[in-house]
Amino acid sequence: MKAMIKKSLMMSALILLIGVFDVASVSATEQHPAAACHLSSGNGDAIVIVFPGSADERRIFAPYAPHGFSMDVAIPAGTYDLYLEAYDGHEGRAGEDQAQEQFVVDFLNSGNAIAQSSHSKDVVEGADDAFASSLTDEGLELASHVNRLSIMHAASYQEGKTQSVSPTCMMLVPHEVVVAPVCGDHVVDAAEQCDDGNTTSGDGCSASCSLERRILDPVCGNGIQEPGEQCDDGNADEEGCTRQCTIPVPVVEPDVVEPQGDVDQCDGEIGNTIWNDRNANGVQDEGEEGISDVKVKLQYGDKVKTDRTNYRGRYKFEDLCEDTYRVIVAIETLDASCYATYDKDGDLDHIYKYELDEGEEYRKADFGYQCTSSTHTGKSSPETGPGALALPLTGSASLVFASIATYMIRRRVGEKTATIIPMD
C-alpha cells in the first residue's frame, strides 16, 4: 500500500513538473540574462537563444522520453552553424555516473517540423557545475522561418538510469548569403558591363547587361538594314546603296560653261574636328585627341565632296558658295569601338545640316565619338587654332631665315587633289 502511494506521489510531481516546462513565448533576438550561457560569436548576425527558467525548471529526463519543453521564437529561414550548450541536470552528484546527458532541438513552423538538430555534447562526468557546449550541426538548413522550438532529451529509456540534463542555450551563426547579380536593377554589379534598368537588347545595354552598339550607331556594311539605315547591301557597290547605307541621290553632271569675263569665285568653308570623346561629355577636353583618317562627305544639291581627317582629326571643305550643306561622317571608316557622343544638332546620327552664307567660314561642324580602341586616334588639337603648325626654331636668326622649311600635305577632296606648301 505504501509503495502505491509513493508511486502516485511521484507521478503527480512529474505531471506538475512537465506543466512548468511549457514556458512563455520568447523571441530569438531577445537577450535574456545569460550568466549560465557560455556561447558567443564575433559574428554580429549570430542569434543566441537562452532557454528561460532556472536549471531545475529546464531539467529534462531520459526515462520519460520524449520529455522536454517548447518555446516560441522567430528565426529567419537560412543556413546556419548550430551550437548547443547543456548543464548537468543534478547538483551534488559528482560521484554518480550519468551518461548521455544530451538533448536535441526540433525546429517547427506552425506545428510542422522544419529540421532537427544533432545531439548536444554529453556533459562531463564526475563534476559538479559541469557544462558542455559544441558545434552540433554545420550548415543546418532552415527552409522556412521558425516560430517554435521543441527541446527534448536525446537518450532513449534505459532501465534503472535517470539521466537528466538542463539545456542552457543555443546559438545560430548564419552563413554568408551570396546574392547573384540582377540585370535590370540599375546597379552595375561586378559581373555586369552595364545596367540601364531593363532587360531589353538593342538600346546600348543588352538583356544580359553587356555593352552593345547603340541603336543610333548601326553597323553599315554588315548586310543587315538596321534602324537609322536606308539600306545595307554589305557595301557590295555604290550603285543601289552607298557605303554610308543611304540610297544614293542621282548625280547630274553640270554643263561646263566657260567663264566669260570676270566671274566671282566662292570662298566659303565648312569644317572642323572629329575627336575621341573619352569621357563622353560632348566636349573636347584637354588631352582628347582627334581621330585620323575618317572619311567625311559634304552633300549639297546633287553634288558630293569628300575629305578625310588629318592626324589631328581636322577636315575642311573650301571654295563653297552660299547653299545648304549636309556634313556626313562615314561611320564605316571609324573603328567598331566608337560610339557617337556629340554632333552639332544633338541627333547623334553622324549628320549635320548647315546653311552657309556667302563667304562664311564655318568651323564648328564637330563630331565626338567615344572610342575604346586607339586605332585611328591622333594628336590633341593645338591650342593655337585650327590647323595651326608650330615649328621649333633652333640656332641663330640668320640660320632660320637662311633655311626654308617646306612640307607637303596631300589631301583628297572629291575628285580634286590639293597640294598645300606653307612657307615660313
Same-domain status, 37 and 164:
yes
Last residue of a domain, one of 118, 141, 174: 174
Q: Is residue 316 part of a domain?
A: yes
Same-domain status, 170 and 279:
no
Cell of 299: 552633300
With a pLDDT cut of 70, the percent of the chain lying above it is 67
* Phi, psi for residue 381 in degrees, rounded to 5: -65, 140
Last residue of a domain, one of 157, 174, 191: 174
Residue-level pLDDT at 16? 33
Strands 112-116 and 103-109, by their bridges, are: antiparallel
Domain count, the chain: 2
CATH code assigned at 278:
2.60.40.10
Residue-level pLDDT at 145? 94
State yes or no: pLDDT of 390 exceeds 90: no
Q: Is residue 261 part of a domain?
A: no
Q: Is residue 224 part of a domain?
A: no
Average pLDDT over residues 127-136: 77
Residues 6+ apart with CB under 8 A from 325: 270, 298, 299, 300, 317, 353, 354, 355, 356
Q: Is residue 272 part of a domain?
A: yes
Q: Is residue 102 part of a domain?
A: yes
CATH code assigned at 160:
2.60.120
Q: Is residue 331 part of a domain?
A: yes
Residue-level pLDDT at 26? 33
Q: Is residue 414 part of a domain?
A: no
pLDDT, one tens digit per residue, over 156-212 is: 656 556 677 888 899 999 998 777 788 999 888 888 889 999 988 877 888 889 887
Confidence of residue 223 (pLDDT cuts 50, 70, 90): confident
Return the higher-pLDDT residue of 19 and 366.
366
DSSP 156: P
This model's pTM is above 0.85: no
Confidence of residue 48 (pLDDT cuts 50, 70, 90): very high
Domain residues for the domain of 150 are 21-174
Nearest to 329 by CA among 367, 360, 302: 367
Residues 6+ apart with CB under 8 A from 388: 382
State yes or no: pLDDT of 298 exceeds 50: yes
Residue-level pLDDT at 166? 82
Last residue of a domain, one of 139, 174, 209: 174
Same-domain status, 170 and 39:
yes
